[in-house]
Structure 1
Amino acid sequence: MAVCRTANVKASMRVLDCCAAPGGKTAYLSALEPNACFEAWDVHEHRVRLMEETFSRLGVKAQARAADASVDAPELYEKFDVVLVDAPCSGLGVAFSKPDIRHSLKREDIASLSALQRKILDTVCAYVKPGGALVYATCTIARDENEANADWFETAHPEFEPDDISPYVAAAEKGSGRVQLFPHLHGGEGFFIARYVKA
């Protein structure tokens, strides 16, 4: 998973996967670095139980809990080395495998999702330690949810610098802190990934 590689988790790091259900990313991150400390959130209790089942089945040591990533938690300020936001999105990057998305999605849905994504980013970026990383990802190809949100974040939070992701994602330009993957150009599903480091 390119998103997980981009997180670049090391031993002893404290990692928050704040939109984590069903838990696949956290499980993969744990396989990459079992000596890190993982916390996995979802806003829905039934999805938290699903994560707990996944972690138990795979032997993943991670704390799963119900939490809304768009709600500020001052007690978590500067507590995490890595915060991963695989945000709720329109899913247009996976529409070829879920054709109902193309027929049910409305323009106003993208606008409301973009607003939620910004709220989550604005909230959880405070949880990143100085020198730590924030990774933002979606499984969509909608510019309003991807590049536009990255542009907004960089303006709203100048304390975060884009960080080169080309070592983790082959399709990324060298020196670039973000990449948009398209199914017809890169194979697989459509994804957006951006990585930032906090000063």
Structure 2
Amino acid sequence: MKINTRRSAFLVISEIENKKNPNADTLMEKYHRTLKDPKDRKLFVEIVHGVLKFKNLLDYYINFVATKGVKDKRILNVLRIATYELMFLDRIPEYATVDEACSLVESINKHQKGFVNAVLRNIIRKKDEIEKALERVKETNLKDFLSIKLSYPKFLIEYLEQSYGLEKTIKILEFLNTKPLQSIKINTKKIDREDFLKKLELNGYKYTLAEENSEIVYILSGNIKDSDLYREGYFYFQDLASSLVVKWNKEDFESAGAILDLCAAPGGKTFNCAEITKGFIISCDVNKSKVDLLRNNLVRLGFDNVVPAQSDATILNEDFIDKFDIVIADLPCAGFGTIRKKPDIKWNKTLEDIESLHELQLRILDNAAKYVKDGGIIFYSTCTLGHKENEDTAKDFVKRHKEFSIVYQKTIFPDEYQCDGFFIAKLRKEGKEEA
């Protein structure tokens, strides 16, 4: 591995940990662009995501041999990267991992080179001993063991256990530690499914189809965003779970005259609607740059029935009142369902965040309730897991708005559907509440 690949990974992990840049995707993209070799780029993503996914487990190994701990976070992050390689990347020789870690640490604090060398060589030598010690933790405290082995904060394990039970929680967390494939949605407004699949094959892409939605394609290798297929607007990026809001309620969206997507970025559900509705869509986001990106994608994809708009969903828009047959409310959430793609989420959310997000969701839904015509529908969704932001939000909403009822609600469990964790609630407005 080239040292600049390791250095880039080190800089990203350190900055995420210091919370200097909370947008991990943007930060990774910045460094990703500096690596010209596709193999270096792939390895960079592997290391960053791997360290963030398994931080607790890596720290257990490091602290087992460095019994006084590692006080300098910079040195700790070098050790995390090297320990991840030793544990998970068999194709890199152990001696190369140690040597390159020592080279990297020399540029940070040359006096720590001997310490880093000793820690890593002890991890290699004591691997079996460390694994046996971890098994003893399992015998004495299962939650502590899971927090280390699966590498999640203990509060998150206990939070999900309250909603789904421990056995189901373990299955969810194990799946969220797996590597996601590139997931794309065919733009059926421009090309039918069979023709698109033929183009994929002609361009050398291997793929598989999602069972729940055959217009969702998993790309098995290669960066398809760099292809002419992307530039020509034949597809857009979307996870299976997100696509099911429209897929499972196709008749509602086909017949709707006016649809509002309240928090649209990056735009997947707006594009789903644009493919099938006979009406029009107003697609909103609070962030101007995201609205601009949405507008550019609409041009690329060839949709002419969408009006992008900058709008804050937390502020009542008088122009929207009683105007829409359907409001899509895919709202801010903790994002626990997306940990496969954004492992830093594990470490930057708290129980207090979950509570405040629940309240924010209700505030936005209060506005959405005013935008829907009588007989209309709110599709409330999140990309998170746990009852507080999902079932409890839907339940509290209909308590506050007696004119609404829950038609159905469903959690899309990632381990069952092999996609992001997701929640959908269909809320129908039966009519104005009588005085």
Whether contact under 8 Å (1:70, 1:124) holds in the other structure is: no
Shift of 1:94: 1.2
| Structure holding more helix per residue | 2
**Runs of 5+ unmatched residues, structure 2:** 1-242, 431-435
Cα distance between partner residues in 2 of 1:103 and 1:75: 40
> Does structure 1 residue 66 correspond to structure 2 residue 297?
no
Counterpart pick for 1:3 among 236, 239, 245 = 245
Residue 181 of structure 1 and its aligned partner are, at CA, apart by 1.4
Structure 2 equivalent of residue 195 of structure 1: 426
- Residues in 1 aligned to 2:254 and 2:340: alpha-carbon distance in whole angstroms: 35
Aligned to 2:283: 40
1:125-164 map, 5 Å: 125-163=369-407
**Is 2:236 the partner of 1:16?**
no
1:56 aligns with 2:287: no
What does residue 413 of structure 2 align with?
A: 182
Aligned-residue offset at 1:79: 0.4
The question of whether the paired residues in 2 share the 8 Å contact of 1:22 and 1:54 is answered with: no
Q: CA deviation at 1:186?
A: 3.1
CA distance in 2, matches of 1:141, 1:179: 11
| Distance across 2 between alignment mates of 1:80 and 1:93 | 29
> So what's the TM-score if we normalise by structure 2?
0.41
| Distance in 2 separating the partners of 1:94 and 1:23 | 16
Q: In structure 1, what is the Cα distance between the partners aligned to 2:312 and 2:360?
A: 11
Aligned partners of 2:256 and 2:326 also within 8 Å: no
- Secondary structure of the residue aligned to 2:388 is helix
1:85 pairs, out of 306, 329, 339, with 329
Take 2:380 and 2:356, find their aligned partners in 1: how far apart are those partners?
Answer: 17
Q: Distance in 2 between matches of 1:138 and 1:12?
A: 22
Counterpart contact for 2:262–2:327, Cα < 8 Å: yes
- Structure 1 letter corresponding to 2:245: V
1:23·1:55 contact (CA, 8 Å) conserved in 2?
Answer: no
Structure with higher Rg: it is: 2
Higher RCO (C-alpha under 8 Å, 6+ residues apart): 1
How many aligned residue pairs are there? 185
Q: Secondary structure at the match of 2:254?
A: coil
TM-score (norm 1): 0.88
The Cα shift of 1:190 comes to 0.6
Q: Distance in 1 between matches of 2:418 and 2:270?
A: 24
More strand by share: 1
Deviation at 1:142, TM superposition (A): 2.4
Which of structure 1's runs of 4+ aligned residues deviate more than 4 A? none
- C-alpha distance in 1, partners of 2:292/2:426? 29
1:171 equivalent in structure 2: none
Structure 1's unaligned 5+ residue stretches are: 164-176
Task: Give the aligned residue type for 1:140.
Answer: T
- Written as runs of structure 1 = structure 2, the 5 A alignment for 1:90-105 is 90-105=334-349
Q: Which amino acid aligns with 1:192?
A: F
Deviation of 1:75 after TM superposition, in Å, equals 2.9
Alpha-carbon spacing, 1:82–1:12, altered in 2? closer, same or farther (3 Å):
closer
Alignment RMSD (CA, Å): 1.3
Percentage identity across paired residues of the two chains: 37
| Residue 129 of structure 1, CA deviation | 0.3
Change over 3 Å in CA distance of 1:157–1:56 after alignment to 2 = same
**Structure 1 residue 11, shift from structure 2 partner:** 4.1
